[in-house]
Amino acid sequence: MKIELPQVGQSVTEGTIGRWLKQVGQRVEKYAPLVEVLTDKVNMEMPSPVAGVLTRIVAQEGETVPMGAVIAEIAVAEEEQVITPPSAAKSGQMPADRIGTLLKNVAPMGPTGSGGPLMETAPSQAAPASAAPPLPPAPTAPEDGPTAPGRYSPVVQRLAAEHRVDLSKVKGTGIGGRVTRKDVEDAIQVKGGAAPPGEARPVAADEERMPLSPMRRIIAEHMVKSATQIPHVWSLVEADVTELAMRREALKEGFRAARGFPLTYLAFVLQAVAESLKEHPLLNSSWGGDAIILKKRVSIGIAVAAPSGLVVPVIRDADTKGIAALAQEVDSLTQKARKGFLALQDVQGGTFTVNNTGALGSVASNPLINYPQAAILTTEAIVKRPVVVNDTVAVRSMMNLVLGFDHRIMDGAEAGAFLQAVKRRLEAMGPETAVG
């Protein structure tokens, strides 16, 4: 059995061999003094850890050896059993030099110059490759003056990432123009839409949470944007649709029987609107920041009350379609909307919107523009009213038309001219109007 120089006193790293008290070939009892060891703390007689016969002296007198080094070998008598504690560890070879070595696997010094037992500490785990992103820069303190662009507080960064807000576009109201949490929250409001799934408002016991469909989310975002970003103005005209009403009355039964879908007022209105839009292209545009984007196609959205709420399916290229075709599309889209069959493309690509608020009995509305369009028209309920015609009072079927428009894109004159164009066309419709 190899005999090692034991660790005595945690601050000691090496010992000098003194006199060997047993010679090679001599029998040694357990605990009997074996060799003198001199350290810088204690001079001691090292007792033999086992009983046996000393067979070899490795470290000679005067030799300085590190703790844990083999200094002798003893042939252990067979009945001697060496007990090793289960988790006790060998002190191992410790380098000793004149500079000193920082021992990493020993307990620190105790109050009397010692510490706990020598236990090999597990080699420290290599730091796992960091998966975490580097920390964002610290927020600039107020006294540092204006905030450098691109330096955002942790909460601002988190909110921007969650809501996909481009922080470079957010105006800061904090010191030095710093983007504050409130600024980014406002930007999220403007960007619109409900809170993202991660930030869902908790539902109270008396509430029910109804998840948003993708369609609903798009509409909601558009509406918020519309209300917050577009300077809305509205204007109302009344149109005498007596002749139109009579014409529709005359045709509707046969039309339905022949084609299987109703001849609605809306179809007439859509045609008048489509033609008027061609005449007034500013109404068929959108705001482009530093320009007005004119749309070459005329695709009119029609607001439909679907079970899930207001949806606006789009009749593409409405200016190329006759009244019957428009009536068919209105019918088809309305059916799809009410059954929830609208596809995403059914609600995209609109350049103008007509909302038949009259179907709900309304006679005047203040419509919200379907963002990013330039205007929206409502057709209110047709009501018979006494109207002065040629200085006499007559009972006429009257319909209010309300136009909401983006004042950035146009002024009242253009909007009024468009309204008059629609009114003129509707009032011109009568016995001769072909539905195609």
Taking the least distance from each CB to other proteins, the nearer of 86 and 134 is 86
Active site includes 331? no
216 phi and psi, to 5 degrees?
Answer: -60, -40
Taking the least distance from each CB to other proteins, the nearer of 47 and 416 is 47
Taking the least distance from each CB to other proteins, the nearer of 160 and 303 is 160
Taking the least distance from each CB to other proteins, the nearer of 27 and 424 is 27
Quote the least distance from Cβ 57 to other proteins, whole Å.
18
Cα separation of 402 and 236, whole Å? 4
Taking the least distance from each CB to other proteins, the nearer of 8 and 363 is 8
The residues that touch other proteins, with contacts defined as CB under 8 A, are 6-10, 31, 41-47, 49, 83-88, 91, 107, 110-119, 138-139, 141-142, 153-158, 174-175, 178, 180-181
Quote the least distance from Cβ 148 to other proteins, whole Å.
14
Taking the least distance from each CB to other proteins, the nearer of 102 and 122 is 122
292 phi and psi, to 5 degrees?
Answer: -110, 130
Q: Computed over its alpha carbons, how large is the radius of gyration of the chain?
A: 46
17 and 61 Cβ atoms separated by less than 8 Å: yes
Quote the least distance from Cβ 90 to other proteins, whole Å.
10
Quote the least distance from Cβ 162 to other proteins, whole Å.
10
Active site includes 407? yes
- The pairing of strands 352-355 and 375-379 is parallel
Cα separation of 335 and 244, whole Å? 25
- The pairing of strands 304-306 and 309-311 is antiparallel
Token couple for 118: 């020598």
Quote the least distance from Cβ 196 to other proteins, whole Å.
15
Instruction: Tell me the sheet residues that pair with 66.
Output: 14
Query: How many Cβ atoms from other residues are within 10 Å of residue 13's Cβ?
Result: 21
* CA 223, chain centre distance (Å): 20
User: Which of 232, 391, 406, 411 does the annotation list as catalytic?
Assistant: 411
Instruction: Tell me the sheet residues that pair with 433.
Output: none
Taking the least distance from each CB to other proteins, the nearer of 140 and 235 is 140
Quote the least distance from Cβ 173 to other proteins, whole Å.
9
Quote the least distance from Cβ 133 to other proteins, whole Å.
11
Report the catalytic residues.
407, 411
